[in-house]
Amino acid sequence: MKKYLLKKAPPKRYLAKYPDLERILLYQRSVKDETEAERFLKVSYERDVHDPFLMTDMDKAVSRILKAMEKGERIAVFGDFDADGLCASVCLKDLFSRAGYDNVTFYIPHRHEEGFGVSTDAIEILAEDGVSLMITVDCGIADAEVLEGAEDRGIDVIVTDHHEPVNGIPGVVAVVDPKRKDCSYPYKDLCGAGVVFKLIQGLLSRERFGILEGHEKWLLDLVGIATISDSVPLIGENRALAFYGLLVLRKSSRVGISKLCRKLNLSQRNITEDDVSFMIGPRLNAASRMGDVRDAFILLSTCDETEAGEAVKGLERVNNERKGVVASLVREIKSSRSILVEHDVIVAGNPNWRPSLLGLVANSLAQEYSKPVFLWGRDGSRVIKGSCRSCGGVDLLELMGSVDGAFEQFGGHRFAGGFSVNFESIHSLRETLNIAYAKNGISVTELPVEVDAIISLDDVTDTLYERVERFAPFGVGNPKPVFKFKNVSFKSVRTFGRQKEHLEIVFENSEREDIRAIGFFMSTESLDKKPVEGDRADLIATMERSYFKGRAELRLRIVDVV
DSSP per-residue string spanning 209-220: TTPPTTGGGGGH
Structure confidence at residue 405 (pLDDT): 81
Structure confidence at residue 380 (pLDDT): 62
How crowded is residue 4: how many other Cβ atoms within 10 Å of its Cβ?
17
Structure confidence at residue 168 (pLDDT): 87
Give 154-203 pLDDT, tens digit per residue. 999 999 999 988 778 999 999 999 999 999 999 999 999 999 999 999 99
Query: What sign results for the dihedral spanned by CA atoms 366, 337, 397, 277?
Result: negative
Residues 6+ apart with CB under 8 A from 320: none
Across 520-544, average pLDDT: 92
CA distance 395 to 392: 9
CA distance 116 to 113: 10
Across 82-87, average pLDDT: 94
Do 393 and 423 form a contact (C-beta atoms < 8 A)?
A: no
How crowded is residue 448: how many other Cβ atoms within 10 Å of its Cβ?
10
Across 222-236, average pLDDT: 94
Residue type, 373: V
- The continuous run of DSSP H or E covering 504 comes out as strand 502-508
DSSP per-residue string spanning 70-139: HHT--EEEEE-SSHHHHHHHHHHHHHHHHTT---EEEE---HHHH-SS--HHHHHHHHHTT--EEEEES-
Structure confidence at residue 110 (pLDDT): 79
Structure confidence at residue 402 (pLDDT): 87
- The continuous run of DSSP H or E covering 330 comes out as helix 305-334
Residue 210 vs residue 423, higher pLDDT: 210
Q: Helix H segments across 510-558? A: none
Q: How far is the first Cα of the chain from the last one, in angstroms, to the nearest whole number?
A: 9
Residue 315 sits at φ, ψ, to 5 deg, of -70, -40
Closest-CA residue to 392 (of 377, 362, 410, 372) = 372
Structure confidence at residue 526 (pLDDT): 81
Cα–Cα distances in angstroms (integers) from residue 539 to residues 52, 189, 372, 427, 473, in the given order: 46, 34, 28, 45, 24
Closest-CA residue to 84 (of 162, 198, 183, 170) = 162
Structure confidence at residue 368 (pLDDT): 82
Question: DSSP assignment, residue 277?
Answer: I
Give 313-371 pLDDT, tens digit per residue. 999 999 998 889 999 999 999 988 888 888 889 999 999 898 888 988 998 898 888 88
Q: Is the pLDDT of residue 243 over 90?
A: yes
DSSP 3-state of 335? coil
CA distance 196 to 188: 14
Residue type, 399: L
Residue type, 83: A
Do 131 and 76 form a contact (C-beta atoms < 8 A)?
A: yes
Structure confidence at residue 1 (pLDDT): 61
DSSP per-residue string spanning 117-133: S--HHHHHHHHHTT--E
Structure confidence at residue 289 (pLDDT): 83
**Burial of residue 8 (number of CB atoms within 10 Å: 0-12, 13-18, 19+):** exposed
What is the dihedral angle through the alpha carbons of 230, 31, 464, 479, rounded to the nearest 10 degrees? 20
Report the mean per-residue pLDDT for the chain.
92
Q: Is the pLDDT of residue 560 over 80?
A: yes
Q: Is the pLDDT of residue 264 over 80?
A: yes
Cα–Cα distances in angstroms (integers) from residue 170 to residues 18, 115, 123, 353, in the given order: 49, 19, 15, 33
Q: Is the pLDDT of residue 206 over 80?
A: yes
Q: Report residue 376 CA to chain centroid gap.
A: 22
Q: Is the pLDDT of residue 233 over 70?
A: yes
Do 538 and 486 form a contact (C-beta atoms < 8 A)?
A: yes
Strand segments, DSSP code E, in 138-187 are 156-160, 174-176
Across 75-100, average pLDDT: 96
Q: Is the pLDDT of residue 549 over 80?
A: no
Q: Is the pLDDT of residue 381 over 80?
A: no
pLDDT bracket for residue 422 (50, 70, 90): confident
Domains and CATH numbers, the chain: 52-217 (3.90.1640.30), 336-439 (3.10.310.30), 450-561 (2.40.50.460)
CA distance 348 to 384: 12
Residue type, 487: N
Structure confidence at residue 425 (pLDDT): 84
Cα–Cα distances in angstroms (integers) from residue 263 to residues 256, 443, 497, in the given order: 10, 45, 17
CA distance 293 to 311: 10
CA distance 556 to 553: 10
Q: Is the pLDDT of residue 445 over 60?
A: no
Q: Is the pLDDT of residue 108 over 60?
A: yes
pLDDT bracket for residue 394 (50, 70, 90): confident
Residue type, 534: G
Structure confidence at residue 161 (pLDDT): 95
pLDDT bracket for residue 446 (50, 70, 90): low
Beta strands 384-389 and 373-378: pairing type? antiparallel
CA distance 78 to 548: 37
Closest-CA residue to 162 (of 184, 137, 135, 126) = 137
Across 25-47, average pLDDT: 95
Residue type, 181: K
CA distance 520 to 505: 12
Structure confidence at residue 397 (pLDDT): 83
Structure confidence at residue 447 (pLDDT): 63
Give 129-160 pLDDT, tens digit per residue. 999 999 999 999 988 999 999 988 999 999 99
